[in-house]
Amino acid sequence: MAEPIRVVVTGAAGQIAYSLLYMIARGEVFGKDQPLILHLLDIPPMVGVLEGVVMELADCALPLLREVVPTTDPAVAFKDVSAAFLVGAMPRKEGMERKDLLSANVKIFKAQGQALDKYARKDVKVLVVGNPANTNAVVCSFYAPSIPRENFSAMTRLDQNRATAQIAAKAKVPISDVKNVIIWGNHSSTQFPDASHAVVTVGNTEKPAVEAVGDAEFLKSSFVETVQKRGAAVIAARKMSSAMSAAKAACDHMHDWWNGTAPGQYVSMGVISDGSYDAPKDVIYSFPVEIKNKQWKIVQGLSLDDFAKSKMAVTGKELLEEKNEAMAVCNAD
């Protein structure tokens, strides 16, 4: 069997981690023959809850889980890790302005970036789940200059999964028969879910999603709005934010980053922008990517109509504003 790899999950006593840790520890991300040492990081007030999580992981009797390291110290949490799930973030509270949220999170992700830079492996894969995820990833990367910027990613896989589920329901096919739905831009209500390049298998025939759905107006209106506002809809119904679906999406994202994408398929990841598709450069922007040997590559040459371009410009503008606000906070520290 392979040597164990070290994986850190931050916010490890929280809701998302409660689902995420079990999925990771049973081999759904890194493979059924890859032993793991899990590092669990949370803040001092959560130590009691963290102890309960450690007990439950032990009681799951998971064959791949060699050791669990609970800690409140970033130096311990990030030591020699090969993969990092940065789930813990300051949630937006009622009456909180976006700049207040950015300011609180800059402090968290600055400290975690510095700890990654100092203690983690240089080939570590860092997935930021905590919101505002795209901008938190930019900040984290900025403070970890010895780790390639390509190794930092923000999660838009939840949005992709939501969008895929909407298409599958509308076309009346199983989820597995829908591929290549794209999320462009920010993991926020400005994101652009795009089905214009998606493919649906109906019977034994692959068809463009537009044809399989048979409702072009739906794809430009309620489909986009439903995906953009799904997080808020879950909160309204559950009185808590998405946890199970967010954990599943984090696993999907890291699984594909680690193992690669199937030929002809691509997935959405928030990655450092090189200006492709007129996105602003040097923000973390969600693009369709193909992955091979743990390296992602933006899918090029996709045609975009004016509707898509206008939506992508809006989300790009928001990301640039967020980045500038966050960096102003960084520089003020």
* Catalytic residue numbers, as ranges: 187
Query: Residues comprising the binding site?
Result: 42, 92, 98, 105, 129-131, 162
Query: What is the distance between the terminal CA atoms of the chain, rounded to a whole angstrom?
Result: 46
Q: E-strand spans in 15-144?
A: 36-41, 65-71, 83-86, 125-128
* Locus of tokens 């696993």: 251
Q: Which amino acid is at 98?
A: R
Within 10 A of 31 (CB to CB), how many other CB atoms are there?
A: 14
Query: Residues comprising the binding site for NAD(+)?
Result: 42, 105, 129-131
Query: Residues comprising the binding site for substrate?
Result: 92, 98, 131, 162
Q: Is the peptide bond before 132 cis (omega within 30 degrees of 0)?
A: yes
At 269 the three-state DSSP class reads strand
Task: Using the Cα atoms of residue 284, residue 289, residue 291 and residue 297 in order, give the sign of their dihedral.
Answer: negative
The Cα angle at residue 265 between residues 261 and 266, in degrees rounded to 5: 75
